[in-house]
Chains A and B, each alone.
Chain A
Amino acid sequence: AQSVTQLGSHVSVSEGALVLLRCNYSSSVPPYLFWYVQYPNQGLQLLLKYTSAATLVKGINGFEAEFKKSETSFHLTKPSAHMSDAAEYFCAVSTNQAGTALIFGKGTTLSVSS
């Protein structure tokens, strides 16, 4: 069975500070990993995905994530937070590259203060 655990339901940073959102996964097969973002009153959008090519994955809006098999982690980072990054972020795992059978984490709400 597969699962994801997002550490911290709420993360607060100052504008310009590093953003680090943590995700650990459990999978009996090589996983495909995803980060989705949900802005207020909107649906989810794909930020980035790991599909067993490069372990460092770059996504939209300056976000990136690194797949670390030894730590079973796929943490999301951004060097410098912007006010517009305030949103809810979901890590997800799938058994297939397309992510059509996604298992989501519980989400992390990112707040950015000026």
Chain B
Amino acid sequence: DVKVTQSSRYLVKRTGEKVFLECVQDMDHENMFWYRQDPGLGLRLIYFSYDVKMKEKGDIPEGYSVSREKKERFSLILESASTNQTSMYLCASSLMGEKLFFGSGTQLSVL
């Protein structure tokens, strides 16, 4: 089975901190995605990547950046965390032309 692993299930950070959310997939997928999930808003795409060192902005990229130095790893970076970035963050991966596989999510609280 495809495994998409997010490094932390729960994370608590302070306002202004730099935050790294890590995601690793073990099936050599080209595509990787970061979504945030908020009650009543569904999932919104932050960034995605179709290849190593390649990134594309999603619907809500402001306040975020990403890094994909290796094919299996896609990192989401909050340069200066703010309280409105408190959310559930979901990573996903897929082969080109195939369905998405999601990780279990990281619940980030920014205090």
Chain A residue nearest to B50 in the complex (CB)? A100
5 nearest CB pairs, A to B: A43-B102, A104-B43, A106-B42, A104-B42, A44-B102
- Residue of B48, B98, B99 most packed against chain A (CB within 10 A): B99
Q: Using Cβ atoms and an 8 Å threshold, which residues of chain A touch B42?
A: 6, 90, 104-107
Interface residues of B (CB under 8 A from A): 4, 31, 33, 35, 40-45, 48, 90, 92, 94, 96-105
Q: Is A82 an interface residue (CB 8 A)?
A: no
Interface residues of A (CB under 8 A from B): 6, 9, 41-46, 49, 90, 97-102, 104-107
Looking at chain A's contact residues, is the secondary structure mostly helix, strand, loop, or mixed?
loop
- Contact call B40/A98, Cβ cutoff below 8 A: no
A60 smallest CB distance to B (angstroms): 12
- Contact call A100/B94, Cβ cutoff below 8 A: yes
- Contact call A99/B99, Cβ cutoff below 8 A: yes
Q: Using Cβ atoms and an 8 Å threshold, which residues of chain A touch B41?
A: 106
Q: Using Cβ atoms and an 8 Å threshold, which residues of chain A touch B90?
A: 43-44
Q: Using Cβ atoms and an 8 Å threshold, which residues of chain B touch A105?
A: 42
Q: How far is the CA of A42 from the CA of B3 in the complex (A)?
A: 12
**11 other A-B residue contacts (CB within 8 Å) besides A41-B104, A102-B45:** A42-B104, A44-B43, A44-B100, A45-B102, A98-B96, A98-B97, A98-B99, A100-B100, A104-B43, A105-B42, A106-B40
A26 smallest CB distance to B (angstroms): 15
- Contact call B104/A100, Cβ cutoff below 8 A: no
